Structure 1
Amino acid sequence: MRTLDLGHNALTAVPDLSALTQLEILYLHENALTALPALPPSLTYLNISENPLRDVELGSLPNLIELRMLDLDLDAFPDVAPLPALRELHLRRNRFKSVPEAVRGMRELRLLDLRANGLTSVPEWIAELPRLEKLDLRWNEVFEPPRELVERGCVVLCE
């Protein structure tokens, strides 16, 4: 099995999935999960959005390309092993007051969605992400996009 879609249900728990060594795409969004199951390191896409998660533990996901964690009410990024392949990180509608420090090591990141979080500034190191193409800061209190990103052609959305 390469894709497992358990989204849009009322699931309160999901069994350990770590034995599904071929699993690449996992949808767990819009459920009633308060904790995540153990995940296989083969995942390339993970959507855990819109769950009342109290404990977000991702484990080691070295192949993950896209991570969606929208509407989780998070105020801190989960403790996670490095995500060396991550290209898209969606953190819309959480409670981050600053860009999570974990983002700093995501050297392959191309899209960072931080809409509607309560950010008041963006750290200088964000410009050090070499592949960042789109930084979405709308619906925050950040009104001045990082000049270095704009100069290199990164789309930075602020409102």
Structure 2
Amino acid sequence: MPTAVTCLPGFVLVSSLGWIDSYRGLIIPGLFSGFTCLLFRQYFLGFPKELEEAARVDGLGHWGAYWRVAVPNSLNLLAAIATITRISGWNPFLWPLVIGQDRSRLDGVGRAVSHMTDQTVNYHLIFMATAISILPLLLVFLFLQRRLVQGIAQTGIKG
């Protein structure tokens, strides 16, 4: 769903939790999406039942099998979801404008708003700040690229 559609209900929820103008209000709503739920569902539908049964035979309960067998085997999926979530949450513009009151704490919005006035727009400062802000995202992608591809590929494999 587009951010513009979920913006008002999200604002009401974040406001009722008292998270306006906080990092919690900026970060936590972005962690949950339908896409990540779909990826988790598809991965665990294709998860081998034999591994779960072997864990049960070894005396593990449902939670023990989940934490000791399923989670370690799904590290590629978790890396893929972390990378996708970080990439999609890196440059939002509307949500930080709605939630954030202090513009100096906001990444993309703070840069854009701080370099624009009624008379001028300092394009060179905006472009330089944008180029610098891409570096951490690029490094995360380069280090997790193999796990990202494996995690997405494993969610579509059945049996």
Q: TM-score range by the shorter chain?
A: under 0.3
TM-score normalised by length of structure 2? 0.21
Greater relative CO (CA pairs within 8 A, separation 6+): 2
TM-score normalised by length of structure 1? 0.21
* Structure number having the greater helix percentage: 2
**Larger CA Rg, structure 1 vs 2:** 2
